[in-house]
Structure formats: C-alpha cells, structure tokens
Amino acid sequence: MAVPTFVDQVSLHVAAGRGGHGVASVHREKFKPLGGPDGGNGGPGGSIILRVDPDVTTLVDYHHSPKRKAENGGHGAGSHKNGAHAADLVLAVPDGTVVKDAKGNVLADLTGAGTEMVIAQGGRGGLGNAALASSKRKAPGFALLGEPGDEREIRLELKVVADIGLVGFPSAGKSSLIAAMSRARPKIADYPFTTLVPNLGVVTAGETTFTVADVPGLIEGASEGRGLGHDFLRHIERCAALVHVLDTATMEPGRNPAEDLDIIENELSRYGGLEDRPRLIALNKIDVPDGRDISDMVIDDLRERGLTVFPVSAASGEGMRDLTFAMAGIVARARAEKPVTEAKRIVLRPPSADGSDAFTVTETGEGWRVRGEKPERWIRQTDFSNDEAVGFLSDRLNKLGVEARLVQLGCQEGDTVLIGDPDNAVVFDFKPGIDAGAEMLGRRGEDQRFDEQRPAHGRRKAIQEALPDRAENETRADVARRLDKPETYGPKAYVVGSSNDPDWAENDPDA
Ligand SMILES: Nc1nc2c(ncn2[C@@H]2O[C@H](COP(=O)(O)OP(=O)(O)OP(=O)(O)O)[C@@H](O)[C@H]2O)c(=O)[nH]1
Ligand SMILES: [Mg+2]
C-alpha cells in the first residue's frame, strides 16, 4: 500500500492538559501547631498551539497520528508549593493551513511564518487554601480543583501559499518548467496526471525570489471535480499570479493552444475568485519543430487578446529567462501592493469565554438552568465532597447575582437548579437567603449551612449543644432520641445562595 507523503486535509482531535488541583494544607511546626494555611496552587495544563513552520509542507504527520494531547498541570502541595506548569504542545503546520471546526466553519487561516493559534487552552490550576484565605476565612479547609483543558475536533486544510501558480492541461510541461526554473525535482513523465500533489519551487530572478506551485493538470470539467480538478484548484487560490502553460506540441487531435487556454480559463472562472489575478502565457515545447510552428501561428492572436505571451522550451531552456523575469516582475508588484503577512497569535476561545460576568437563567422542564462562563467554571473547580468548598461556591454564585436572579424570576425554595450544559450539569436544590458566612464556620471542611442536609453531622452538633442543659439522669443517647428529627438529606441537596458577606469571597480571583 502506498504511504501518502503529501496530505492536505486531515481531521485532528486536540485535548489540552487539565490544570492541577490546589491543595488544602496547614503549616505545622514545633511549638506552632496551627501556622496558617499553606496549600499551594495547581499548575495550569498545557495548551495546544498550531504554529506555521515554513519547513513543513504537508499535513501528513497528522494523518498518521490524528490525536494530540498536552500534559496536565502539577498538583499543588503543602508549604506553599505550586504545581508545575505543563508545557504547551506546539504542532507545526504548513504556511497556508486553514483551520475549521468539525462542522466545517473556518476558525482561522494561518499564514506567515510563526503565526500561532491556541486551538485548545490548557485548564487553569485550582487555587490552594493559602490563596483562598481571607481576613475572615483564615484557614480554609478546602482548595479548588484544576479545570479540564479544552478538547475539540478540528479539520486542517492546506492551501499552498505560492506566489505563482502554474496551470494547464496534463502533460503541458508544468513540472518540467518548475524543474527548469528552480531546484525542485518533481516527477516528469509523458502520461497525464503525473503530478498528483502540488510541488513548490523557489525561483530567483534578479532581486526577486519567489515560489511557484505546480498543481496537477486541469481538464474540462475540473471545476466540477473531473480529473484531479477541484481538489487542487484551491491550492492556487492564494497565488498572486497565474501562468498558463500551453502545449504547442501535443499530438492529441482537436487540441490547440488557444482552445486549451479557453477551456482552462472557463474552469477557473467556474471555480471562481481568481479573476483578479494577473496572468502570463507560456507556449511550451518550442524545441519541437511542430511546436515552434504552432507557437508562431497562435502568438499574435493571443497577444491581440491583450495577453503577455512567452514562447519557451523547458527542455532547451529557450525563452526561460524572459519568462522568469516577467514572473518576478508581477510578484514584485503584488508584494509592493500588499505587505507581507506578519506573524500573529490567535487564541481560540468559545464565544462565551470572554471573562465576563454574564450568565443566563432559563426555566426548563428539568428545572432552572443557569449558564455562564463563571458559574460553569466554578462548578468545575468545586470539590463537592467538601462542604466548605460547596459553601464557597454558593457564595461566589450569590455574589455574581445568580441567587437574586433566580428569586426575581420566581424560583422557589426547593426548586431544581441546574448549572452547566445539558449533558453535564450539576443539580442543586434551591435554598435562597441563608444567612451565614465566615462567622458560622465550624470545623475545617464543614459549613454549618449544610447541617440540615447532613443529619449525622448536624445531629451530632445539636446533641453536643444540648448536653449542658440535659436533665439530671438523661444520657447522651436520651438526648439524641429527644432531638431526633426526620432526615432531609437527599442526593441533590446542595445549597445555592448564602450570605451577602463580601469578605467571604474577597480573595476570589474571579470576583
Ligand atoms: N520536447 C519537450 N518536451 C517537454 C517539454 N516540457 C515537457 N516536456 C515533456 O512533456 C511530458 C510531460 O511533462 P510534465 O512536465 O510531466 O507535464 P505536466 O504539465 O507536469 O503534466 P501533469 O503533471 O501530468 O499535469 C514529459 O514527457 C516531458 O518530458 C519541452 O519543453 N520540450
Ligand atoms: Mg506535472
């Protein structure tokens, strides 16, 4: 089986690294048992970056391994140790790579050496408890989780970037011309469609150095996909100028250079978008006696049509110098009009991810759905096994105004609230306006607002509090029985809404 060496379209799955988790830790040393929180932050995950590298001319690497993943960030540790930043994964792509999403929408057109696109952003690292400490919350018993990195399916399509494109019928001598003008050594043979993929040659004429693309031969119907047609026409889209290579020595009955030109021009105009490109005509193979006769016959006609025509021979080199200098002239003029593309950096973020405070609340059949960059990010950062972390989440949401909006829209206590996208939402029971804050904090990792929902914990505390006032002969078990109340804890019983204590979230990086 032939192994492809030139690939100009690939699908690629990219997954950035996840951020490391922050850690909750308390500094301990001799004579200083509670030295304050010292849990470090998680490091960010590696991003995936596409970078234009002029030495890369094909997408073949991605054809062979179409899945790319960047490293995860390191987790934080005690003693204020932050997790390692994961290295970004840089994927080299050819100049002229068009990036599309899975649906075929163009995301970016990467041209110019060094142009970069962050196609998948690494997840942020979670904050450790040292960074989350505030004047009221001196020793948070929780840390934030690292966020997952972006993951997406993309398509890469190469549109060769060359200054000049050679177009013409198969066997007209396009590859022979590029071989005669440059150091490129494309395959040349006397059968049609020798060239299956574009070849690039670098040509120097006088002061100007430019690139020439030799694309597979065109035939009538190419714009509708006949021959290798359509697939390769896009490789001449970016050329500043076109050179028609016309075969003066073809043995095929019914063909002559002027008609060949009309057929190719017709295909180009049906493909569209190339009308404004200046053209030169090369009448090739004049070393063949019949070829020179034919050339002499048609050259005046073509010139009368206002075309710039060069009789040449790729085989003998005759006329080649004039042709290459004319090509250099067109290129120099085109460059003077349009400055070279400078390297740029494009960062791809979903439209919602603009760092804004915007969020939406909609009532759905399942409950109240909250969408927004921050609420959704905060959900991902929350360790739901830690009540204090969930309390922190509640306060962040509240501070953003999520609770107020829910109340305003008529959300009632006990209603279901879903935060996040439909496939992956976190479900809450709505419980507005609970007054709490740092003053009410209990042990590390606990939040008293959950006592009602966490009966074992609440009950233990209630019993503890009732003990001093118990009757003379009442045992602890008696108190427990006396205080027993029906269980209210259910799997969906997180609380949205909380205090309005601004200090609570004073170190919130997002607030
Ligand atoms: N005598 C003569 N033969 C030539 C000249 N240029 C090309 N040829 C011959 O014409 C045939 C086709 O040349 P190629 O350069 O492969 O033509 P092409 O236009 O690249 O053809 P495709 O790649 O099939 O589209 C080969 O046998 C070449 O040797 C020329 O100037 N003189
Ligand atoms: Mg060829």
For residue 54, is it within any domain? yes
pLDDT digits (tens, 9 = 90+) for 180-204: 998 878 888 787 777 777 788 888 8
The structure's pTM equals 0.66
Burial class (CB within 10 angstroms; exposed 0-12, middle 13-18, buried 19+) of 490: exposed
Any ligand 1 atom below 6 A from CB of 250: no
Q: CA-CA distance, 264 to 501, in Å (whole number)?
A: 74
Last residue of a domain, one of 129, 159, 189: 159
For residue 449, is it within any domain? yes
- Looking at the fold, whether 132 and 168 belong to one and the same domain comes out as no
- Looking at the fold, whether 175 and 309 belong to one and the same domain comes out as yes
- Looking at the fold, whether 61 and 192 belong to one and the same domain comes out as no
For residue 271, is it within any domain? yes
Q: What sign does the CA torsion over 173, 174, 175, 179 have?
A: positive
* Highest mean pLDDT pick, 199-203, 338-342, 457-461, 494-498: 199-203
- Looking at the fold, whether 71 and 190 belong to one and the same domain comes out as no
pLDDT digits (tens, 9 = 90+) for 245-291: 999 998 888 888 999 999 999 988 988 888 899 999 999 999 999 99
Ligand 1 atom, smallest distance to 188 CA: 16
**What mean pLDDT comes out for the span 135-153?**
88
For residue 324, is it within any domain? yes
Last residue of a domain, one of 134, 159, 184: 159
- Looking at the fold, whether 178 and 304 belong to one and the same domain comes out as yes
Q: CA-CA distance, 388 to 72, in Å (whole number)?
A: 26
Ligand 1 atom, smallest distance to 216 CA: 25
**What mean pLDDT comes out for the span 146-161?**
88
For residue 402, is it within any domain? yes
Any ligand 1 atom below 6 A from CB of 287: yes
The token duo for 67 is: 């899945």
For residue 34, is it within any domain? yes
Residue 275 amino acid letter: E
The token duo for 157 is: 């399509």
- Looking at the fold, whether 200 and 295 belong to one and the same domain comes out as yes
For residue 350, is it within any domain? no
pLDDT digits (tens, 9 = 90+) for 371-406: 888 898 898 899 888 888 888 888 888 888 888 888
The pLDDT value given to residue 337 = 83
Minimum CA distance residue for ligand 1 atom 14: 173
Question: What CATH number corresponds to the domain at position 216?
Answer: 3.40.50.300
The pLDDT value given to residue 405 = 87
As a whole number, the mean pLDDT across the chain is 81
- Looking at the fold, whether 229 and 151 belong to one and the same domain comes out as no
Last residue of a domain, one of 159, 174, 198: 159
The pLDDT value given to residue 342 = 67
Q: What sign does the CA torsion over 252, 255, 260, 262 have?
A: negative
The pLDDT value given to residue 487 = 36
> The domain containing residue 62 runs over which residues?
9-159
- Looking at the fold, whether 119 and 178 belong to one and the same domain comes out as no
Any ligand 1 atom below 6 A from CB of 285: yes
- Looking at the fold, whether 270 and 399 belong to one and the same domain comes out as no
- Looking at the fold, whether 316 and 240 belong to one and the same domain comes out as yes
- Looking at the fold, whether 259 and 319 belong to one and the same domain comes out as yes
For residue 4, is it within any domain? no
**Residues with Cβ–ion distance below 5 A, ligand 2:** 175, 194-195
* 175 annotated ligand binder: yes
Q: CA-CA distance, 378 to 308, in Å (whole number)?
A: 65
- Looking at the fold, whether 244 and 278 belong to one and the same domain comes out as yes
Does pLDDT of 409 surpass 70? yes
State how many domains the chain has: 3
Question: What CATH number corresponds to the domain at position 40?
Answer: 2.70.210.12
